[in-house]
């Protein structure tokens, strides 16, 4: 296990370097610069030129690249051009928001997706199976922007149960956090649960047809024991892969959901940074996000090793 | 030195002392105090460093925190704010400001002329519109309550520029003098509200500044100045970029005020007795700027043909979702500088005339590229309708759709590959003719004059607007400049937008202005 961890962590370093170089190149290649965003709509050419000069954007790109790596070597991700704050500080403010919402949405996704996938597999070709899969398809197909607006109208405007938007930090007020995060989490979870339900169903169906399941049933084991201990345990590897992807999607942020519900997560932050060409924010933010995604992948690998001994032996 | 007392400066550049008359009526008193007013703001804010930002979203919040020596009143006239008086020397080369006494910053420190000097120093170094101070030779503080500006040459329009709220020279504590551009993240001002917390992308919370000293030269708030009182305990600007969510928040009462209500929501909101709709006319001018250095719009007759073909009603209807007014030129009818000079060129929608100009120009179907973006739907929609109208008269109009920063960079940096750039002018027309017409001369000329050299007739009119000694002379120059710009089709203004704001019916004193002002606003419970 230790060897797997060391190897995975070692491979993360070149990945991060490559990502940082690609990010720098791409954000500087696209036209437009942050001075235009800072200057506002009816700015004059002179105002824009002043801002470019003040922020050092009139320096050659290679000089900017050198400065970026020199600062990075000292652990400094730079300062957001638009927010005027260190990138690390901004990311540390936004990450807990995204992580808390992601955890909430993930819990819902797992509860809805796994349950409906397993039930659909056990009741294959019945109306329950059909209903579960229609529900899953709806979750995948409905744009979460539209779903979010419908929920706002129903739960906030008509019923008055939940606020229309805004965000309360979990640490400040857990109940307030629950109120402001429930609709965003549902809108994210319904989309992802649909995906998870379909994968769970197909994997379970495949496992349930295996000889060892027939053997287990022939031995007279209870249905619950067959499903939970023998079938689900063996279906977990592909499911874990999908869960890893789901976690990655959640961590990288959902721009649409965050925008609709005014949630200050990293999805909204990085999208704004790209749209406004906030170079340090894009470069530093994506580097941190990449590190998190690499970490998630390592955790998925560890899960594989825990779930399947063959992975442990192969990995050493 | 001649002394003249006046309540407002109706003409600028007078050799005079400017000091408001003492107020005789009772000053404003809050009908109710307390509460947290949550305001749904449509755009994210990047910074609260007001000196280095010209965005509306920053101004919305920062102008409740900061104040300047001078500002503009409700009718856009220059007025004194942190200054108790301003004296202009007879040779127009020295402006002496006496500061209002007992003004304290939000950190408790008393404001002196040393802070004013430091503020001008910082603005001159990193201020977004530091060209305002190009003609200022120096500034100094002969005593703690006096600040003096020394000009290089007389500039009749200097007070107009100094009082501009586009990127105002707000007064900050001297210790913030050397803070780099964009990095004043903990703003300390003298205004009626002070910052509590700013979470970019989410909200900004302000609270009443208990040490605030209202300007007793006035009886009530006016424009960005006047007698200001914070009746509310706190104001929370919540960033709600999705229009549907703003409407929902206003209907539920979660938001007590919002800006930019979508037109389609208005009929329903008007029926809601808990909501008051507040239209803010003349919010901005929708405009297309030609590239006169790139064919075929380098040909004045082609530009005349395009101008003749346009139906402004159709364009503005699509651009504004029906919330607009037709408007000739670059000022609004309620503004003192307004002129309809050039009206004979506006909203012609005359296909025959357009075709006649095209024939005279020898137009052979060269593409006319409309450079626009989808970040701002009004710009995209106006370009789309203009394309249809141009095609209808035989012009090969093509759209080039990029994002906003790209379109601006293309417009600024190249004279190739585009013929019209679509934009909107918001703050500048509100500031007056001078602020608007700077877009027609270098270094800011949006019509991309050939070789980067100004049209001499336009430049002469611009100089008249700036340098003539009388207000009448400068106004005549503005009329001349507008006429020239429209005759030569150096800009095509389509019309003006109405921005619709809304508040809950328990909110009092909220009057739409260039920013949502929260001084003298109260809530009943």
Instruction: Report residue B18's pLDDT band, with 50, 70 and 90 as the boundaries.
Output: low
Residue B111, by phi and psi: left (phi above 0), alpha (psi -120 to 50) or beta?
beta
On the 0-12 / 13-18 / 19+ scale of CB atoms within 10 A, B420 is buried
pLDDT tens for B255-310 read 999 998 988 899 999 999 999 999 998 989 999 999 999 999 999 999 999 999 99
- In a mutational test of the B interface, the residue from A157, A166, A171 whose CB has the highest number of chain B CBs within 10 Å is A166
Q: Mean pLDDT across the stretch A235-252? A: 87
Taking contacts as CB-CB distances below 8 angstroms, the residues of chain A near B274 are none
How far separated are the first and last CA of chain B, in Å rounded?
53
- In a mutational test of the A interface, the residue from B184, B408, B445, B454 whose CB has the highest number of chain A CBs within 10 Å is B408
CATH number at residue A164: 1.10.3720.10
Residue B4 pLDDT > 70: no
Q: What pLDDT does A151 receive? A: 92
Contacts of B468-477 with CB under 8 Å at 24 or more apart are B468/B156, B469/B13, B469/B156, B471/B11, B471/B12, B471/B13, B474/B156, B474/B157, B475/B337, B475/B339, B475/B433
Find the length of chain A: 316
In a domain, A21, yes or no: no
Q: What pLDDT does B9 receive? A: 43
Residue B344 pLDDT > 50: yes
Question: DSSP for B105-133?
Answer: -TTSPBP-HHHHHHHHHHHHHH-TTGGGG
Cα separation of B341 and B484, whole Å?
9
Q: What pLDDT does B2 receive? A: 35
The whole-model pTM stands at: 0.83
φ, ψ for residue B446 (rounded to 5)?
Answer: -80, -15
How far apart, in Å, are the Cα atoms of B360 and each of A202, B291, B484, B487?
A: 71, 20, 21, 17
Question: Closest Cα to residue B461, out of B451, B444, B445, B475?
Answer: B475
Q: Mean pLDDT across the stretch A11-19? A: 86
In a domain, A143, yes or no: yes
In a domain, A22, yes or no: no
Strands (E), chain A: none
Contact A44 B439 (CB under 8 A): yes
Q: What pLDDT does B57 receive? A: 86
How far separated are the first and last CA of chain A, in Å rounded?
8
What number is the ipTM of this complex? Answer: 0.73
Mean pLDDT over the full length of chain A = 87
Residue A97 pLDDT > 70: yes
On the 0-12 / 13-18 / 19+ scale of CB atoms within 10 A, A259 is buried
- Say what percent of chain B tops pLDDT 90: 75
Residue with the larger pLDDT of the pair B26 and A3: B26
In chain A, the number of structural domains is 1
- β-strand pairing of B203-208 with B193-199: antiparallel
- A275 to chain B, minimum CA–CA distance in Å? 8
Question: Which structural domain, as residue segments, surrounds residue A103?
Answer: 95-275
Contact B46 A49 (CB under 8 A): no
Residue B94 pLDDT > 50: yes
Helix axes of A2-29 and A61-73: crossing angle, nearest 10 degrees: 150
pLDDT tens for A36-95 read 877 777 778 888 888 888 888 888 888 888 888 888 888 888 888 888 889 999 999 899
- B350 to chain A, minimum CA–CA distance in Å? 30
Q: Which of A156-170, B75-89, B420-434 has the highest mean pLDDT?
A: B75-89
The CA radius of gyration of chain A, in Å to the nearest whole number, is 24
pLDDT tens for B324-333 read 999 999 999 9
Cα separation of B342 and B353, whole Å?
17
Question: Closest Cα to residue B125, out of B165, B179, B167?
Answer: B179
Instruction: Report residue A253's pLDDT band, with 50, 70 and 90 as the boundaries.
Output: low
Q: Topology of B2-240+505-523 in CATH?
A: D-Maltodextrin-Binding Protein; domain 2 (3.40.190)
In a domain, A204, yes or no: yes
Contacts of B311-314 with CB under 8 Å at 24 or more apart are B311/B347, B311/B349, B311/B389, B312/B346, B312/B347, B312/B349, B312/B494, B312/B495, B313/B347, B314/B385, B314/B389
Q: Mean pLDDT across the stretch B442-458? A: 92
Residue B376 pLDDT > 90: no
In a domain, A261, yes or no: yes
Residue B10 pLDDT > 50: no
Mean pLDDT over the full length of chain B = 91
Cα separation of B13 and B20, whole Å?
17
- Say what percent of chain B tops pLDDT 70: 95
Helix (H) or strand (E) holding B465: helix B456-467
- Inter-chain contacts counted by CB atoms under 8 A, chains A and B: 168
In a domain, A282, yes or no: no
Q: Mean pLDDT across the stretch B477-501? A: 96
Q: What pLDDT does A13 receive? A: 84
In a domain, A102, yes or no: yes
CB count within 10 Å of CB B148 equals: 18
Contact A165 B238 (CB under 8 A): yes
* CA triple A173-A176-A182, angle to 5 deg: 130
Q: Mean pLDDT across the stretch B98-125? A: 97
* Homologous superfamily (CATH) for B282-498: Dipeptide-binding Protein; Domain 3 (3.10.105.10)
Q: What pLDDT does A52 receive? A: 84
- In a mutational test of the B interface, the residue from A34, A40, A49 whose CB has the highest number of chain B CBs within 10 Å is A40
Residue B45 pLDDT > 50: yes
pLDDT tens for B142-182 read 999 999 999 999 999 899 999 999 899 999 999 999 998 88
Q: Give bridge partners of residue B185 from the DSSP assignment.
A: none
**From A32, A260, A268, residue closest to B245, measured CB to CB:** A260
Domain ranges for chain B: 2-240+505-523, 282-498
Q: What pLDDT does A311 receive? A: 67
φ, ψ for residue B11 (rounded to 5)?
Answer: -120, 150
Give the chain B residue whose CA is nearest to the CA of A37. Answer: B405
Q: What pLDDT does B6 receive? A: 37
In a domain, A8, yes or no: no
Helical segments of B321-446, H only: 351-361, 377-392, 404-413, 427-431, 433-437
Residue B3 pLDDT > 50: no
φ, ψ for residue B88 (rounded to 5)?
Answer: -105, 130
CB count within 10 Å of CB B61 equals: 26
The answer to whether the CB of B294 falls within 8 A of the CB of B457 is: no
Residue B8 pLDDT > 60: no
Q: Which of A30-44, A117-131, A158-172, B28-42 has the highest mean pLDDT?
A: B28-42
Residue B253 pLDDT > 90: yes
CB count within 10 Å of CB A158 equals: 11
**From B129, B201, B406, residue closest to A47, measured CB to CB:** B129
Question: DSSP for A167-182?
Answer: ---TTT-HHHHHHHHH
Helices and strands (H and E) in chain B: how many = 14, 24
């Amino acid at each position: 296990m230790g060897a797997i961890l060391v190897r995975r962590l070692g491979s993360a370093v070149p990945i991060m370097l490559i990502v940082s170089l690609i990010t720098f190149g791409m954000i500087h290649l696209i036209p437009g610069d942050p001075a235009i965003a800072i200057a506002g709509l009816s700015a004059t050419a002179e105002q824009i030129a002043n801002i470019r000069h003040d922020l050092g954007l009139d320096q050659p790109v290679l000089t900017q690249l050198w400065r970026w790596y020199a600062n990075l070597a000292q652990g400094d991700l730079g300062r957001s051009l638009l927010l005027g704050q260190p990138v690390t500080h901004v990311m540390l403010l936004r990450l807990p928001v995204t992580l808390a919402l992601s955890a909430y949405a993930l819990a819902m996704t797992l509860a809805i997706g796994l349950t409906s996938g397993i039930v659909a597999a056990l009741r294959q070709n019945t109306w329950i199976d059909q209903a579960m899969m229609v529900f899953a398809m709806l979750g995948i197909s409905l744009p979460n922007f539209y779903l979010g607006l419908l929920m706002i109208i129903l739960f906030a405007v008509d019923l008055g149960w939940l606020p229309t938007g805004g965000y309360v930090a979990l640490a400040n007020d857990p109940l307030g956090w629950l109120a402001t995060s429930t609709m965003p989490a549902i809108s994210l979870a319904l989309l992802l649960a649909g995906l998870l339900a379909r994968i769970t169903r197909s994997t379970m169906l495949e496992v349930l047809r295996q000889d060892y399941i027939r053997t287990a049933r022939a031995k007279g084991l209870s249905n619950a024991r067959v499903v939970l201990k023998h079938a689900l345990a063996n279906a977990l590897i592909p499911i874990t892969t999908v869960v890893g992807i789901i976690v990655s999607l959640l961590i990288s942020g959902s721009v649409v959901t965050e925008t609709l519900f005014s949630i200050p997560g990293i999805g909204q932050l990085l999208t704004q940074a790209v749209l406004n060409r906030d170079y340090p924010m894009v470069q530093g933010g994506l580097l941190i996000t990449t590190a998190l995604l690499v970490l998630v992948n390592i955790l998925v690998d560890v899960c594989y090793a825990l779930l399947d001994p063959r992975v442990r032996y192969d990995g050493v | 030195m001649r002394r003249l007392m006046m309540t407002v400066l109706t003409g600028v550049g007078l050799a005079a002392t400017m000091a408001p008359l003492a107020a005789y009526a009772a000053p404003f008193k809050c009908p109710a105090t307390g509460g947290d007013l949550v305001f749904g703001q449509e755009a994210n804010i990047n910074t609260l460093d007001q000196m280095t930002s010209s965005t509306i979203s920053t101004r919305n919040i920062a102008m409740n925190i900061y104040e300047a020596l001078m500002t503009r009143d409700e009718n856009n006239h220059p007025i004194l704010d942190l200054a108790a008086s301003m004296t202009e020397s007879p040779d127009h080369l020295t402006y002496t400001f006496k500061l209002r006494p007992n003004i304290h910053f939000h950190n408790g420190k008393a404001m002196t002329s040393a802070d004013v000097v430091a503020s001008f120093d910082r603005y001159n170094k990193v201020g977004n519109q530091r060209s305002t101070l190009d003609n200022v030779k120096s500034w100094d503080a002969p005593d703690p309550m006096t600040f003096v500006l020394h000009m290089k040459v007389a500039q009749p329009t200097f007070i107009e520029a100094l009082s501009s709220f586009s990127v105002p020279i707000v007064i900050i504590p001297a210790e913030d003098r050397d803070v780099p551009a964009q990095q004043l993240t903990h703003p300390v001002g003298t205004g009626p509200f002070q910052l509590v917390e700013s979470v970019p992308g989410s909200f900004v919370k302000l609270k009443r500044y208990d040490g605030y000293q209202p300007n007793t030269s006035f009886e009530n708030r006016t424009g960005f100045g006047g007698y200001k009182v914070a009746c509310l305990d706190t104001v929370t600007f919540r960033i709600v970029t999705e229009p549907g969510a703003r409407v929902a928040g206003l209907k539920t009462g979660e938001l007590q005020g919002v800006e930019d209500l979508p037109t389609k929501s208005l009929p329903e909101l008007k029926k809601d007795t808990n909501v008051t709709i507040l239209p803010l006319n003349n919010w901005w001018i929708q405009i297309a700027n030609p590239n006169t250095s790139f064919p075929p719009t380098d040909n004045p007759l082609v530009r005349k043909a395009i101008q003749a073909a346009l139906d402004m009603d159709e364009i503005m209807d699509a651009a504004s979702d029906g919330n607009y007014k037709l408007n000739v030129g670059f000022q609004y009818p309620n503004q003192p500088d307004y002129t309809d000079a050039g009206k004979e060129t506006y909203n012609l929608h005359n296909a025959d005339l357009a075709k006649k100009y095209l024939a005279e120009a020898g137009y052979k179907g060269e593409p006319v590229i409309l450079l626009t973006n989808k970040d701002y739907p009004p710009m995209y929609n106006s370009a789309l309708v203009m394309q249809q109208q141009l095609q209808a008269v035989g012009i090969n109009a093509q759209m080039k759709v990029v994002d906003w920063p790209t379109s601006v960079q293309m417009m600024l940096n190249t004279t190739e590959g585009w013929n019209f750039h679509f934009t909107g002018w918001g703050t500048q027309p509100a500031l007056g003719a001078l602020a608007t017409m700077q877009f027609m001369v270098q270094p800011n000329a949006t019509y991309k004059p050939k070789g980067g050299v100004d049209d001499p007739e336009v430049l002469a009119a611009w100089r008249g607007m700036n340098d003539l000694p009388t207000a009448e002379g400068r106004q005549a120059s503005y009329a001349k400049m507008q006429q020239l710009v429209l005759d030569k089709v150096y800009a095509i203004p389509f019309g003006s937008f109405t921005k619709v704001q809304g508040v809950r019916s328990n909110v009092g004193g909220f009057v739409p202005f260039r920013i949502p002002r929260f001084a003298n606003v109260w809530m009943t419970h």
